[in-house]
Amino acid sequence: MFTIKGKTTDWEVVIGLETHIEVLSNSKIFSGASADYNPTIKPNTQVSMVDAAMPGMLPVLNEYCVEQAIKFGLGINAEISHRSKFARKQYFYPDLPQGYQISQPAEEPPVVGRGWIEIMGDDGNKKKIFIERAHLEQDAAKNKHDMHPSKSFVDLNRSGVTLLEIVTFLDTKNPENNSYISSPDEAERYLREIREIARALGVSKANMEEGSMRADVNVSVRPAGSNEFRTRTETKNMISFKFIKSAIEYEARRQIEIYENGGTVSQDTMRYSQADGTTSVLRSKENALDYRYFPDPDLLPLIITDEQIERIRKTMPELPAATRARYIADYGLKEYDAARLTETTDISHWFDCAVGNKKERGKIIANWMISELFAHPENWDEKNSGKISDDPDAPRIITPSDLAELVDMIAASEINGKQAKEIFIKMLDGETGTPREIADKFGMKQITDTAAIERVIDEIIAANPSQVEQYKSGKVGLLGFFVGNVMRATGGQANPAVVSEMMKSKLN
């Protein structure tokens, strides 16, 4: 249990996340304009009359975005509402030409209702995190202040792009139900899981660096062991796991200090400063915005049928939680490694291809991927597209079958681990051919001929009488010294396991 030491008592934190993911779709939620607003696209070129809020324009709901929301809802084990509405959430901001954002009303069921996902809790056990709702809404445009010293600009390309906002649930009526996030690490694991589900389903890139995923962080504290929910603050628009964790921790300590000095926390909206990791009040409760939600008169209620839900359910791929469970059960992977291999479906597919139908390869391939391949993103194609560049200077792409062959060669004692590493490095350096061809070309073969190894062992023993004496009088740690010498004398080509066994029996 994550706690923070106070002056007289320990404190625990209660966390609620409102996560926005940008829905992948060709066009925007209520217009036919392209939803691609990446920075290389000229500002204000992907804008329809609807997105520019020209008077009298009518929004038309994008059915594909609704399907994406349903898909995500099924991915988080949620109820899908058969009927939900769109409402206008009103506020003024220069990047919001309508003067309101079309969202789904806060007080009524949105398209995705109550659901849950599972993460690893801080105690190492699986923990359910309940989700209250996920609703569809429009993204705002983008203000640009840094292009001209005295002018600000608005780029409407992002105006009207589809967002899905996912809100975690806090069961205030049953405070003993602890299915909510209660530490900075759990917050990160929750966000990673949301990200992986969204990616596996193709619902969103859910990439914080690129801005396709961001979160508002609600935090309150209470004395450890108590069941009360105290006043929370909300820190807006967080865009990295690291900052989110730091903001939670800072905000919790700030609140604890207030309580310990006899004060009360007010329900403020906070801003996080990346420069010094602090939070400060953006607006206080007294100045809380009254959005005056009201049903959008231009949009009919959203009706979803069981047939539609079932049709989408049939297209659901294996979700990351199931893939991870499969890797752990079939290959004995650690939870953490399984998580690395399921960060995207492309990665897990690459891994599945490399393992093929040889289960025994699973663990060692996972190790090679995580410790070697991931360190060289330029040398592998996550998508395993099979594309080989025509450019002779392009880096060599290591394929699933390359890695499978390398691993099989070790398993068959054709080469040892050190030689495998050398072959791998040669591939990184652009050497073409399969690992076996490279081994042949460079004469890398493991010596398993015991007579040859024995000759070298005898030489090493003869050359180191004092070490032999010490070994015999109990310093068995010297075995490594002898094995190392044999390996060096054979140019690293001997099988270290065989050398070690033979050396032991000789010395005894």
Binding site for ligand ADP (CB under 6 A): 14-18, 106, 167-170, 218-220, 229-230, 232
Angle between helices 496-507 and 465-472 (to 10 degrees): 80
Instruction: Tell me the closest approach of the beta carbon of residue 62 to ligand ADP, in angstroms.
Output: 25
Instruction: Tell me the closest approach of the beta carbon of residue 220 to ligand ADP, in angstroms.
Output: 3
From the CA atom positions of the chain, what is the Rg in Å? 29
Q: What residue type is 166 in one-letter code?
A: I
Instruction: Tell me the closest approach of the beta carbon of residue 249 to ligand ADP, in angstroms.
Output: 14
Instruction: Tell me the closest approach of the beta carbon of residue 195 to ligand ADP, in angstroms.
Output: 17
Residue-level length of the chain: 508
Residue whose CB is less far from ligand ADP, 217 or 333: 217
Residue whose CB is less far from ligand ADP, 135 or 426: 135
Residue whose CB is less far from ligand ADP, 153 or 229: 229
Beta strands in 161-206 (DSSP E): 162-168
Residue whose CB is less far from ligand ADP, 23 or 219: 219
Phi–psi pair at 163, nearest 5 degrees? -120, 150
Instruction: Tell me the closest approach of the beta carbon of residue 178 to ligand ADP, in angstroms.
Output: 13
Residue whose CB is less far from ligand ADP, 142 or 253: 253
User: Which residues contact residue 308 at a Cβ distance below 8 angstroms, ignoring those fewer than 6 apart?
Assistant: 67, 70
The four Cα atoms 324, 326, 330, 335 give a dihedral, to 10 degrees, of 20
Residue whose CB is less far from ligand ADP, 19 or 246: 19
Instruction: Tell me the closest approach of the beta carbon of residue 168 to ligand ADP, in angstroms.
Output: 4
Instruction: Tell me the closest approach of the beta carbon of residue 115 to ligand ADP, in angstroms.
Output: 13
DSSP string, 446-491: -B--HHHHHHHHHHHHHH-HHHHHHHHTT-GGGHHHHHHHHHHHTT
User: Considering Cα of 141, then 145, then 148, then 150, what sign does the dihedral take?
Assistant: positive
Which tokens sit at 343?
């960060």
CA angle 181/183/188 to nearest 5° reads: 75
Phi–psi pair at 149, nearest 5 degrees? -60, -30
User: Considering Cα of 435, then 441, then 447, then 451, what sign does the dihedral take?
Assistant: positive
Taking residue 480's Cβ as centre, other Cβ atoms within 10 Å add up to 11
Residue whose CB is less far from ligand ADP, 14 or 487: 14
- Identify the H or E element spanning 155: strand 151-155
CA nearest to 281, candidates 268, 290, 264, 265: 268
Q: How far apart are CA 159 and CA 349, in angstroms?
A: 35
DSSP string, 8-46: SSEEEEEEEEEEEEEPP-SB-SSSSSB----TTSPTTSS
Residue whose CB is less far from ligand ADP, 219 or 247: 219
Instruction: Tell me the closest approach of the beta carbon of residue 132 to ligand ADP, in angstroms.
Output: 6
Q: How far apart are CA 188 and CA 273, in angstroms?
A: 19
Which tokens sit at 303?
């009706």
Instruction: Tell me the closest approach of the beta carbon of residue 187 to ligand ADP, in angstroms.
Output: 11
Instruction: Tell me the closest approach of the beta carbon of residue 216 to ligand ADP, in angstroms.
Output: 8
User: Considering Cα of 427, then 432, then 436, then 439, what sign does the dihedral take?
Assistant: negative
- Identify the H or E element spanning 222: strand 213-223
Name the residue number minimizing CB distance to ligand ADP: 16
Residue whose CB is less far from ligand ADP, 168 or 384: 168
Instruction: Tell me the closest approach of the beta carbon of residue 66 to ligand ADP, in angstroms.
Output: 22
Residue whose CB is less far from ligand ADP, 110 or 400: 110
Residue whose CB is less far from ligand ADP, 64 or 169: 169
Instruction: Tell me the closest approach of the beta carbon of residue 320 to ligand ADP, in angstroms.
Output: 22
Residue whose CB is less far from ligand ADP, 254 or 436: 254
